[in-house]
Amino acid sequence: MGDNFSLSITILLTGFAVVFAVLLILIGIIKLYGTVIFNIQNKKRVKKASRNADLPKVEREEAPAPAAIVEAEPEVDDDALIAVISAAVYSVYSSSSVRIKSIRKASSRRTGAWRSAGLSDNVRPF
Amino acid sequence: MDILNGFLDAIKGLWTDSGFTQLGWQNYVMMAIACVLLYLAIKKQYEPLLLLPIAFGMLLVNLYPAIMAPPSTEMVECSVYEAAHQGQVINYATTTLNGVQYYNVPQYGGLLYYLYQGVKLGIYPPLIFLGIGCMTDFGPLIASPKSFILGAAAQIGIFITFIGAILLGFTPAQSGAIGIIGGADGPTAIYVTSKLAPELLGPIAVAAYSYMALVPIIQPPIMKLLTTKKERSVVMGQLRPVSKLEKIIFPIIVVIICAIALPSAAPLVGMLMLGNLFKESGVVERISKTAQNELMNIITIFLGTTVGATATGTVFLTPKTLGIIALGLIAFCMGTACGVLFGKLMYKFSGGKINPLIGSAGVSAVPMAARVANKVGQEENPGNFLLMHAMGPNVAGVIGSAVAAGVLLSVLG
């Protein structure tokens, strides 16, 4: 019984130590390579951005496209709407460096092209 | 008259062979349990993909125990055999007893006996892990590697239950197999038990899969008991995006570290990571789809049905088995509790940024445990979405339980 008890404590300590040690090593390695890859990819992105310098910066920081959603769902909760627009912007630019400064409802004049494209797409069969 | 006698003899033979005379009360009890599990699978939809084949296998083996019978030989007098087969001489081994020669005629085993060999030889669990790897997104874990701590914490239940089993008189190898139920990972439990204590495979597999199916019932009371309303309401920040390259490197690194540190965990972790590499590499889409759909489904049918078929009444309804079921439940509860308690520690150290509920998802049971953490969090704050945060510890738990299995196999195997 005494032998079994000491074996139990040995297993408990070994198991605890090994499981935590292996997983802590993995945490360290994942953090390390995560940082390295992030830095490398960030550098590449900066280079690419400097090459495409003709792209206006203001357009990247603002999100004009979701304005159509605002029109379609005028009674949506503001927080939820901001979350949806942020998600859309991040998925388009796939970068955390994008910052949304403000979200404004676009005038109907600006959405005219989208509206006419949508209308023509829907009414084409008729 | 001869015809009538023949008819009566045939009916008598059929009656003698039927379940009415062959089955004991234990079989009927197990059939009732199987029907309850079928009800839970179909009506309540508790992990139906697992519970349904398990319950049906249980029902089938208690109706017809020979379906799990191993192959055997029957001694038939050579002259009798040859007379029955028009004098055909057959190449069976012979035995001579008291001057009479007998053929050792092979009797084939039951259908489920053969399918069960994949469980017994430890083939199905790594194949299931292959499919799980193809379906798992390790992104949340890579984005927040500290989730690994919660995945490790939830494995403590395995080792504490080991002590309990030893104190109850089980051998060290049996105790290791019982403790692994606390990992809430069916394939790992089967793999470890098939190596350490094959005689307990039936009850341990049934207990492991049943508790996995009952996660939504077992975990919430423990989670609520150990956390305050304030802790449960914590809304966690958005996870950082993870690049494709990071996702591709992850399985390669994990398998190298785990297989070097713990070679006994290599079959499970190796197949899990192979499946994940299939998915993340994006170059073997066909293989990835097959592994996560057709192969996984076929193995699930075989594994579920044959695991259920190990639960015959005479074997299952014994104090020892009921003890295993109880210890398994304790292991599972301990795993959940340790995960939540470590979650509370991380809540304190992070200055209240981590919701301790996600610690409960450290007990594998992917993705059910993560869904439960999300659901309990939403009971306090309906706008709180913890699912992706809980997926980190959840998938870390799969790796953690495979590592814990490696420790048990190395020390006790």
Least confident span in A2-6, B116-120, B158-162, B401-405: A2-6
Least Cα distance to B165 among B287, B40, B326, B384 occurs for B326
Contact B178/B208 with Cβ under 8 angstroms?
A: no
Q: CB contact, 8 Å: A100 with chain B?
A: no
Confidence label for A84 from pLDDT (cuts 50, 70 and 90): confident
Using CB atoms, which residue from A19, A30, A96 is nearest to B152? Answer: A19
How many angstroms separate the CA atoms of A123 and A85, rounded? 28
Average pLDDT over residues B16-29: 83
Residue of B nearest to A34 (CA): B246
The nearest CA of chain B is from the CA of A49 a distance in Å of 18
Matching residue, tokens 């019982």: B178
Residue A53 is predicted with a pLDDT of 67
Q: Tell me the three state secondary structure of residue B232.
A: helix
Q: Which of A111-115, B119-123, B319-323 has the lowest mean pLDDT?
A: A111-115
- Helix runs in B71-214, H state only: 78-84, 111-120, 124-135, 139-143, 147-153, 156-167, 172-179, 186-196, 201-213
Residue B3 — very low, low, confident or very high, per pLDDT cuts 50/70/90?
confident
Please state the pTM of the whole predicted model.
Answer: 0.77
Residue A62 has pLDDT above 60, yes or no: no
Would you call B411 and A10 a contact, using CB atoms and an 8 Å cutoff? yes
Of A12, A20, A37, the CB nearest to B162: A12
Interface of chain B against chain A, CB under 8 Å?
Answer: 141-142, 145-146, 148-149, 151-152, 155-156, 158-160, 162-163, 166-167, 172, 175-176, 240-243, 245-246, 249-250, 253-254, 257-258, 261-262, 396, 399-400, 403-404, 407-408, 411-412
B11 contacts: CB under 8 Å, gap ≥ 6: none
Of B148, B158, B166, the CB nearest to A4: B166
A69 pLDDT above the threshold of 50: no
C-alpha count within 13 angstroms, C-beta hemisphere, residue B52: 12
Name the residue type at position B66.
A
pLDDT tops 60 at residue A111: no
Tokens 């050579």, residue located: B78
Q: Domain residue spans in chain B?
A: 72-107, 114-412
B268 pLDDT above the threshold of 50:
yes
Which of A23, A30, A96 has its CB closest to that of B400? A23
How is chain A split into domains, by residue range? 1-55, 56-126
Q: What is the pLDDT of residue A124?
A: 58
- Helix axis angle for B124-135 and B186-196, nearest 10°, is 160
Most confident of A108-112, B293-297, B307-311: B293-297
**Who's near A63: CB < 8 A, 6+ residues apart?**
A85, A88, A89, A100, A103
In this prediction, residues A25-48 reach a mean pLDDT of 86
A51, pLDDT greater than 80 = no
Please tell me which residue, B32 or B16, carries the higher pLDDT value. Answer: B32
Residue type for position B285: E
The predicted-structure confidence for B202-243, as pLDDT tens digits, reads as follows: 889 888 888 887 888 899 999 999 999 999 999 998 888 888
What are the structure tokens assigned to A43, written together? 């550098």
Flag if B245 and A41 touch (Cβ within 8 Å): yes
Give B85-131 pLDDT, tens digit per residue.
887 777 888 899 888 889 899 999 999 999 999 998 989 999 999 99
